[in-house]
Chains A and B, each alone.
Chain A
């Protein structure tokens, strides 16, 4: 077993955090555009792709077209805008509002980046940083919950691959898909464990091996923000679990790693 020195440990933590920021947090732009009318109006006419390139870290491509947003892993094909980050830590500081990206391409779009895109990311931050007063608003509660659910799902593959405890938990999960849904008509996400790989997606898969269902939006919000302990929520019937419990146990251990990286 290789013992990590503290410096390397911190570097790895930054790398994992960068993966989460790009592939789980920034991924929320898709839902924000689809479910927040103000954001939908803002991006309605955008036709642009933005590459996020992190030196020694992950890459992502954020594309806006026909009022939709997609956040994909990897490089963009000929993006008009490239945002460069000198390290995973640089990206993470930018996501916390403590640093700026370095535009490598798209100088003609500087105005767009500074004004329009910043408006979008501010909107995302607004919905991802709840407080008690904001959560009283039904639209805010639902969108914050939707984004939190999505963040959780898309964080799982990253943590299962890179986080030491996540890796251990993923290794014990076995094969199968878990559907996570907010009842009755709320959103759903799924996480598929198969042969030591993990994939996440929106919606439900057919014939899942396990289910995790939240009674309503408030229960889901409390659950994913660690305001209730899962055992109590399950015992009281607020959260319903079914199917292959070891899959859910592994998933739960991985989800519990999120606060270690994202506040």
Chain B
């Protein structure tokens, strides 16, 4: 199988490195793509489940823009709605009625939602959720899960991260995932001081297997929160509309007070939302939180179209089915080579790891070899399956995975 080269990407990167910190920063930095030289850095175009890089290489995309792409790139219905809205009004001095329609849509769709608030990124609404919880309770401390990702605000970053200060984490308490006893302990130790508990519906850290909630985990957390007057916040930014259109808490059977959405909401258009219960609406209204582009109408039109389409086709069911098919095949292929490919997390956003090499170097090399053959895999982050991934894509991916294992075999002697 022919492998790709990335000369144009590298040339753009050389230019970028002179004028942009890191060349490409944040979660799209090539640095954690191991080896970085096996990956394209710049995209030229995208359609459906695929994107093409600036070297003309075609990739079946299993990162889906790290989550925002859910129905396929350049989706006709979503793009048409956004373009139509741009042609009438987008970023204007007043919001358009679409804001009302979108809020009504979310309130109808999500049983726990009595109201909705819009912004641009997941981090905008996780930060807002903390402020609402503090405003509602008059308390300062927030409990979160160690390794949980809630954006890049200083409070959300691991203590000691560059640019953060000790004070940024002073009121953040970290506990282990699935540790209800730990939660009860910190709540008792900080009695009357904990404003909120924030966590993702299931634990999906980078560089580690995903972990589902243990039986009764969320229900215990919910009970403790209710008993102690703590606001229960779900960061559904990554899982939202992929596991269950009504919110991932419905999938896991619990009732949060605030829910953060973004990524899949607008199929690539920049929008996020915090939804909440009636009891917090008044406090939410008192917290001043805004941004220059948060009222832009085109992303709201895209979100309405996207949610409508996901509902029409039952998107979560399609993604779960495609994911299961893809992963069952991949596990079997690895087994044929005497390797264990461990899959964790939900089938629509799986985290994969070849367990035979604890250092993960074999897994990293295999992911790199797959990418050089046209299946874009990362080795450190959960993947995303969209409704646009076809059976042909899956078959092609299996062929690539096999060829990449064959190529990796010699170096690792399996």
Partner of B207, one of A168, A234, A245: A245
A229 / chain B contacts, CB cutoff of 8 Å: 21-22
C-alpha gap A5/B266 in the complex (Å): 50
A209 / chain B contacts, CB cutoff of 8 Å: 358-359
A246 / chain B contacts, CB cutoff of 8 Å: 207-208
B41 at the interface (CB under 8 A from A): yes
Q: Which segment, of A74-82, A185-193, A236-244, faces chain B?
A: A236-244
A165 / chain B contacts, CB cutoff of 8 Å: 160
B160 / chain A contacts, CB cutoff of 8 Å: 164-165, 168-169, 253
Interface mask (B27-61 → A, CB under 8 Å = 1, otherwise 0): 00111101111000100000000000000000000
Q: Which segment, of B9-17, B84-92, B389-397, faces chain A?
A: B9-17
CB pair B10–A244 under 8 Å, yes or no, is no
Given A165-B160, A168-B159, also A245-B34 (CB < 8 A): yes
C-alpha gap A234/B23 in the complex (Å): 11
C-alpha gap A132/B179 in the complex (Å): 55
CB pair B29–A235 under 8 Å, yes or no, is yes
CB pair B360–A244 under 8 Å, yes or no, is yes
Given A209-B359, A229-B22, A232-B22, also A240-B13 (CB < 8 A): no
B280 to chain A, nearest CB (A): 30
Interface centre among A164, A168, A235 (most CB of B within 10 A): A235
CB pair A234–B36 under 8 Å, yes or no, is yes
A234 / chain B contacts, CB cutoff of 8 Å: 30-31, 36
A11 at the interface (CB under 8 A from B): no
B227 at the interface (CB under 8 A from A): no
CB pair B31–A235 under 8 Å, yes or no, is yes
B23 / chain A contacts, CB cutoff of 8 Å: 231-232, 235-236
CB pair B36–A237 under 8 Å, yes or no, is yes
B31 / chain A contacts, CB cutoff of 8 Å: 230-231, 234-235, 241
C-alpha gap A244/B35 in the complex (Å): 13
Given A241-B34, A242-B34, A246-B207, also A231-B22 (CB < 8 A): yes
Q: Closest residue of chain A to B158, judged by CB?
A: A172
A208 at the interface (CB under 8 A from B): yes
A168 / chain B contacts, CB cutoff of 8 Å: 158-160
Interface centre among A176, A234, A237, A242 (most CB of B within 10 A): A234
B361 at the interface (CB under 8 A from A): yes
Partner of A244, one of B29, B170, B207: B207
B25 at the interface (CB under 8 A from A): yes
A210 at the interface (CB under 8 A from B): yes
Binding site for B on A (CB under 8 A): 1, 164-165, 168-169, 172, 176, 207-211, 229-232, 234-237, 240-246, 253, 256
Query: Can you list 16 A-B pairs, Cβ within 8 angstroms, ordered by A?
Result: A168-B158, A176-B359, A229-B21, A231-B31, A232-B22, A232-B23, A234-B30, A234-B31, A235-B17, A235-B31, A235-B41, A240-B35, A241-B31, A245-B34, A245-B207, A245-B380
Given contacts A235-B13, A237-B35, 13 further A-B contacts (CB under 8 A): A164-B166, A165-B160, A208-B359, A229-B22, A231-B23, A234-B36, A235-B23, A235-B30, A236-B13, A242-B359, A243-B361, A244-B359, A253-B162
